[in-house]
Amino acid sequence: MPFGVICPLTTSSRIASGTTAGSRTRSVAAMPAPRWFFRFMYDRESAAWERRRDEPEHGELVERTADELANVVAPPGPVADLGCGPGAHALALARRGYDVVGVDGSPRMVEVARTRAARDEVDATFDVHDVSAPLRFADASLGGVLAILVLQHLPHPAAFIAEIRRCLRPGGHLLITAPARDSTSLTSQNLYWRLRAACYHLVPGVVRFYDTNSLPRLVEDQGLTVVECNGEPGRVSVLAHA
């Protein structure tokens, strides 16, 4: 379970906390940067993300995230990792006995993920696909879905969640995370990651930011039931089921 603050999920408790409809949407940008921008950026960053996921702190977070989904989805799943990047989460789940498909719009990220799977002799499938388009999974075919730090880049986040809802079988679970607007990522020891975070925070519309009100509301509005919402430094996560 990620460490953090568990957010209130009922309407009454949201009102009691003094959060208004206007303030709940303040952290969500109107439109992120174009898709080609992120595809280009992540293609260029594929090696850097591979190294980053191998850092002890990030490795621990990957394992915690895989455990959280494994607590509610029985193997073999199947499970889709949407916006899989270099494949760390998908490989962690595959090692736990899950039938995993990782999907990413960056061809170089998928190449890195496939190389890692072959090197580590882990059975996981990785495909290049723009996750803002309709997903290539049949209706009610998935036991679980991961969507880790991908939602902020999508032009139509509600449509993305609706596609996940279509693909989940009854009782299937979604674990989704999105960036929160705070200064945590601005304090990285790595200059590149600090500059990257500063661009996201200071240039309007590059990405969307979410919080412990806006993310669960988005998920609920697409027909999923929120089980839990956690706020951590730099991110917010929601666990929900169909």
- Which pLDDT tens digit goes with each residue over 167-182? 999 999 999 999 987 6
pLDDT at 53: 65
User: Can you tell me the mean pLDDT for 10-35?
Assistant: 38
d(CA 83, CA 150): 6
Instruction: Count other Cβ atoms within 10 Å, centred on residue 165.
Output: 18
Q: Which positions ≥6 away from 176 have C-beta within 8 Å? A: 145, 146, 147, 148, 151, 161, 215, 219, 237, 238, 240
pLDDT over threshold 80, residue 20: no
pLDDT at 191: 54
pLDDT at 19: 34
Beta bridge partners of 145: 80, 174
pLDDT over threshold 80, residue 188: no
222: CATH: 3.40.50.150
Q: Which amino acid is at 15?
A: I
- Give the CA distances from residue 185 to residues 23, 51, 59, 169, in Å, rounded to whole numbers and listed in that order: 23, 17, 17, 35
Give CA 219 to chain center in angstroms.
13
Please answer whether residues 175 and 184 qualify as being in contact, where contact means their C-beta atoms are separated by less than 8 angstroms: no
What value does the mean pLDDT of the chain take? 80
For the record, the structure tokens of 38 come out as 């992120």
pLDDT over threshold 70, residue 199: no
pLDDT at 16: 27
For the record, the structure tokens of 20 come out as 């208004």
Q: What percent of the chain has pLDDT over 70?
A: 66
Give the pLDDT band of residue 59 (cuts 50, 70, 90): confident
Q: Which positions ≥6 away from 224 have C-beta within 8 Å? A: 161, 164, 165, 168, 174, 240, 241, 242
Count of the separate structural domains present in the chain = 1
pLDDT at 26: 38
> Is the pLDDT higher at 242 or at 27?
242
Region label for 234, one of left (φ > 0), alpha (ψ between -120 and 50) or beta (otherwise): left
pLDDT over threshold 80, residue 5: no
pLDDT over threshold 90, residue 21: no
Least confident stretch, 15-19, 98-102, 147-151, 226-230: 15-19
Q: Which domain holds residue 224?
A: 5-241
Q: Which pLDDT tens digit goes with each residue over 67-112?
A: 999 999 999 999 999 999 999 999 999 999 999 999 999 998 999 9
pLDDT over threshold 50, residue 229: yes
For the record, the structure tokens of 215 come out as 């993310």
> Is the pLDDT higher at 240 or at 38?
240
- The pairing of strands 235-241 and 79-82 is unpaired
Please answer whether residues 198 and 18 qualify as being in contact, where contact means their C-beta atoms are separated by less than 8 angstroms: no
